[in-house]
Amino acid sequence: MHYHYIIIGGGSAGAVLANRLSKDPSNEVLVLEAGRPDYKWDFRIHMPAALTYLLTGKNYNWGYTSDPEPFMFNRKIAQPRGKVLGGSSCINGMIWIRGNAMDYQKWAGDKGLEHWDYAHCLPYFKKVENRLMGGDNYRGDQGNLKLTTPTCKNPLFDAFFKSVQEAGYPLTEDVNGFQQEGFGRFDQTIYNSRRLNAARAYIHPAKHRKNLTVITQAMVLSILFDGKKAVGVEFKKGKRINKIFAKEIICSGGTINSPQLLQLSGIGNANHLNKLGIPIVKNLPGVGENLQDHLEVYVQWACKKPLSLYPALNPWHAPKIGFDWLFRKKGIGATNHFEAGGFIRSNDLVSYPNLQFHFLPLAIRYDGTVPNEGHGFQLHVGPMGTDVRGRIQIKSSDPLQYPSILFNYLSTENERKEWCEALRLSRKIIETQAMSSLMGEELSPGPAVQTDEEILDFVAKEGESAYHPSSTCKMGTDDMSVTDPNTLKVHGVENLRVVDASVFPYVTNGNIYAPVLMVAEKAADIILGNTPLNPIELPYFKATST
């Protein structure tokens, strides 16, 4: 069979491309997704508060782990990635953060990326969004992805907002608008009390189109080439291996799977691929390099008053929580609980925020474990503008073997410096008069952890990925770039593009789902040869001092 476009991966970026490329009925579009469908009946996908099940289970999750991290006591760090139609948008924290405007100015500072500055990206962010509380010059209200702004009803949020102001930090009306710096409510990818993943926003509304074919549980094994021209793919569905052909192949497998597939197909560091017996199509040493991620820790306190969500952890409450969510579309099952947080600068050397905080009215880990029997609350905190670089590298020519993943967390002096600042500023934000009637004992890391050495030891022992991997097929024109910034085509081959978080030159300031969808919307216009949306020149906040 022949198609105009084969999209490898029905995740966040692939879902956008499936919708946009199939809008023209003359384009035959095929989406191949290794995971299962995002079944409407499965509450684990659609119930916002069921996040823990998705991050720790294997039904919808590739369940990757890193190699032993040399600066973290050789711990293997979990890296969940979505293995389902909708990809990681089905298992993420449902937090909508675009990044800072200056992230895209940084992108545009690289040679050839002039059209990836904030002004050129902003119209595509607006194109994605349907912010239910209304749009404005910065925000969209007509897009595919409906966004809910939380109410932050729990009284701990009120105390938190007072506390950050007492600590010297501003509130901001919208971290995705004029001013990211400061603290405020975080928009959620939740609609009608259900997670709105990328498949529900983009693929399902287009599935009636006769020119769009979506095949799930289809594991792509390799990209097929005629010389240096990509002509098709080989994929496994059940026990059968199929070959299928197209005029153009678009790799949207994500930061781990896209470089893995390129390497398996003969595109990557020739020295490494030769050792594995893989025929070389194109020597591109940057494939799988430049891996960036955000590391985070939980800073947790006991709560003196019974205000936290701790009672909801009692199994006896589960039936009512489920009933309220399913039939009444309300209650604590209908939110991700990451309703507030913020961005600040940790020192005078950075020009825009380099730390992100999430506030949670409960002390709990991603795996669902709690530090004590009782009420508590916590900050998730971690540096954003990391200068740490890792890599993705296949171990063999077997497509079913997971690749080697090394993040190199804590490997740079600057990263370690910012971690010490992050922990101390977390305490500054909470140890205020505004929180004094609520703040009990510090549970994690605990008051004994004070010196730089003690803080870094704690981070190395307890740090977890924030699940924001990016940049392993980065756009650019230098020797280590993989994709062309104007076309997103893979350097040195024909008819092959990459569209997902792996093309970011630098990880953005915050959660990465929003910029992935922006890149995919922008890429769709590039692929179709559409006139790009006009840049929107708007001011954005620039700090003058700390």
Please report, rounded to a whole number, the percentage of residues in the chain having pLDDT higher than 90: 88
Q: Is 375 a catalytic residue?
A: no
Could you give all domains of the chain from N- to C-terminal order, each with its CATH number? Answer: 1-47+77-145+197-289+469-529 (3.50.50.60)
Q: How far apart are CA 2 and CA 259, in angstroms?
A: 25
| Range 203-211 contact pairs with CB under 8 angstroms and sequence separation of 24 or more | 203/10, 203/15, 203/18, 203/19, 203/31, 203/85, 203/86, 205/19, 205/144, 206/18, 206/19, 206/22, 206/23, 209/22, 209/25, 210/25, 211/22, 211/25, 211/26, 211/27, 211/28, 211/29
Digit-coded pLDDT (tens) for 333-365: 889 889 999 999 999 899 999 999 999 998 877
pLDDT (0 to 100) of residue 217: 98
pLDDT confidence band for 56 (50 / 70 / 90): confident
Q: How far apart are CA 292 and CA 466, in angstroms?
A: 11
Residue 107 to residues 68, 102, 120, 168, Cα–Cα distance (Å): 31, 9, 11, 30
pLDDT (0 to 100) of residue 55: 85
pLDDT (0 to 100) of residue 53: 82
Q: State the catalytic residue, choosing from 120, 294, 468, 491.
A: 468
pLDDT at 325 over 90: no
Please state which of the ranges 39-43, 180-184, 389-393 shows the lowest mean pLDDT.
39-43
Digit-coded pLDDT (tens) for 421-467: 999 999 999 999 999 999 999 999 999 999 999 999 999 999 999 99
pLDDT at 546 over 60: no
Digit-coded pLDDT (tens) for 213-268: 999 999 999 999 999 999 999 999 999 999 999 999 999 999 999 999 999 999 99
Q: What is the largest CA-CA distance in the chain?
A: 70
- Mean pLDDT, the chain, rounded, equals 95
pLDDT at 389 over 80: yes
Contacts of 349 (CB under 8 A, 6+ apart): none
Token readout for 281 is: 């199509």
Classify the phi-psi angles of 335: left when phi > 0, otherwise alpha if psi is within -120 to 50, otherwise beta: beta
Kindly give the interhelix angle for 12-21 and 513-528, rounded to the nearest 10 degrees.
30
Digit-coded pLDDT (tens) for 111-145: 999 999 999 999 999 999 999 999 999 999 999 99
Count of residues for the chain?
546
pLDDT (0 to 100) of residue 318: 81
Please state which of the ranges 26-30, 267-271, 345-349, 504-508 shows the lowest mean pLDDT.
345-349
pLDDT at 41 over 60: yes
pLDDT at 3 over 50: yes
Give the DSSP H or E segment for 124.
Answer: helix 118-128
Q: How far apart are CA 148 and CA 186, in angstroms?
A: 9
Q: Tell me the average pLDDT across 282-286.
A: 98
Across 344-374, b (16+ Cβ under 10 Å) vs e yields bbbeeebebbbbbbbbbbbbbebeeeebeeb
What 3-state class would DSSP assign to 344?
Answer: strand
Q: How far apart are CA 122 and CA 518, in angstroms?
A: 8
Digit-coded pLDDT (tens) for 62-84: 999 999 999 999 999 999 999 99
Residue 320 to residues 43, 49, 324, 331, Cα–Cα distance (Å): 14, 13, 6, 9
pLDDT confidence band for 322 (50 / 70 / 90): confident
* Cβ 424 vs Cβ 450: under 8 Å: no
